[in-house]
Structure 1
Amino acid sequence: MKDIMNEFTTVQMEHFSYWREHTLWHWEFWVLLFLAVAPWVVWFIIRKRGSEARLLLSGAFAVIVASWFDFLGIAFGLWEYKAMLIPTIPSFMPWDISVVPVSIMIWLQFKPRMNPFIKAFSFSVIASFIGEPIFIWIGLYNPIHWSHLYSFPIYILIYLLAYKISKTDSTDLL
């Protein structure tokens, strides 16, 4: 185990050096910083007052699940990223802790009586077939052994579970 941890530390240091030389203060860094901050600013402005706790709980669930799937995808070599905001886990922080959860919270907040399956389907179409290709096109995301079709049901599931959490009475959680 000591050898594995030493190798891991060496790789992490190399990764940090690469990030410092090729990402920090370059255009990718600024795009990722914008994507990490802007959705939260928008959400703060348009959020439904009085619903913040349930929406944030749903958003926190989305952060955990998106970050976990992202970690697994990187660990198993299913995809890679050219640049990261900071060289840590979650790998693609702006997507995992900003774009996905804030998008879900906004979708949950607007048209709350709309069928959640239609909203989940729409969210998944946008994330899988518009969001992911844009990140490929600008050169930040490289699916190695992954297809947008694989992402599609995952985003539906994340949305529907976040929806379920948003509808749970706080007393049901205890």
Structure 2
Amino acid sequence: MFKPPSHINKALNEQYDVIDKANTKVAELWKDEIIFSFGWWGATMLVIVPWIVWIFYRKKDSTHRLLLGGIWAMFIATWLDYIGVAMGLWRYNVKTMPVIPDFIAWDFSLMPVTIMFFIQVKPTIKPVYKAIFFSLLTSFGAEPFFKWLGFFDYPSWHYIASFPFYIAIYMVASKLVNGSKFNSLHS
């Protein structure tokens, strides 16, 4: 059994205490200032509305294939957002709930639903063209707009740096949706 040396264990426990106290302060701030604010309503709608629209307008016989691409987008966007926030590259200013990461509205709803719609609309257009359009729209349209609204800040990031990441996320999602074969699990 691995047991870290006592000085490491003590240092880690001190850091966990700092994190616990910070989370308590954030929860109090959320309860007193954030919940039911303009930003909170906006972020909450960004979590709910895209999925409602998707449920009604998705290509029904491709639901599972589209969800595979959407789940990929959720996973990678959340991972990259976590790294960016942890490194201080950007900060989110609105929390939908005090106990979940701030970027859930974007990574669990807006990003995957938008990608799934782009994949299913005009399927004959080459994925790379759609990826570039999606990246342009997101990097230079959505990001500046939501930054202007005050949803997040960029202490050490610029929109153009997001551009290749959005292309890569879209291309992998498209490949998963269009290249996967869904066969029955029954023999």
TM superposition score normalised by structure 1: 0.95
Please give the alpha-carbon distance, in whole angstroms, between the structure 2 residues aligned to 1:88 and 1:158.
Answer: 26
| 1:119 aligned onto 2:119 | no
- SS for the counterpart of 2:102 is coil
| 1:85 aligned onto 2:85 | no
- SS for the counterpart of 2:91 is strand
Q: 1:67-146 alignment to 2 at 5 Å?
A: 67-146=78-157
Shift of 1:170: 3.1
Please give the alpha-carbon distance, in whole angstroms, between the structure 2 residues aligned to 1:84 and 1:56.
Answer: 25
- SS for the counterpart of 1:144 is coil
Does structure 1 retain, via aligned residues, the 8 Å contact 2:95–2:101?
no
| 1:35 aligned onto 2:46 | yes
User: Which residue of 1 is the match for residue 181 of structure 2?
Assistant: 169
| 1:17 aligned onto 2:9 | no
The letter of the residue matching 2:34 is: T
User: Which residue of 1 is the match for residue 57 of structure 2?
Assistant: 46
User: Which residue of 2 is the match for residue 65 of structure 1?
Assistant: 76
Shift of 1:91: 2.2
Percent of aligned positions with the same letter in both sequences? 36
5+ residue gaps, structure 1, are none
Please give the alpha-carbon distance, in whole angstroms, between the structure 1 residues aligned to 2:113 and 2:134.
Answer: 12
**Structure with max Cα Rg:** 2
CA RMSD of aligned residues (A): 1.1
The letter of the residue matching 1:36 is: V
Shift of 1:78: 0.4
Please give the alpha-carbon distance, in whole angstroms, between the structure 2 residues aligned to 1:125 and 1:89.
Answer: 28
The letter of the residue matching 1:39 is: P
Shift of 1:157: 0.2
The letter of the residue matching 1:63 is: M
- SS for the counterpart of 1:170 is coil
Please give the alpha-carbon distance, in whole angstroms, between the structure 1 residues aligned to 2:116 and 2:101.
Answer: 20
User: Which residue of 1 is the match for residue 169 of structure 2?
Assistant: 158
Shift of 1:21: 1.6
User: 1:44-71: CA deviations, max 9, x gaps?
Assistant: 1110011000101110110111111111
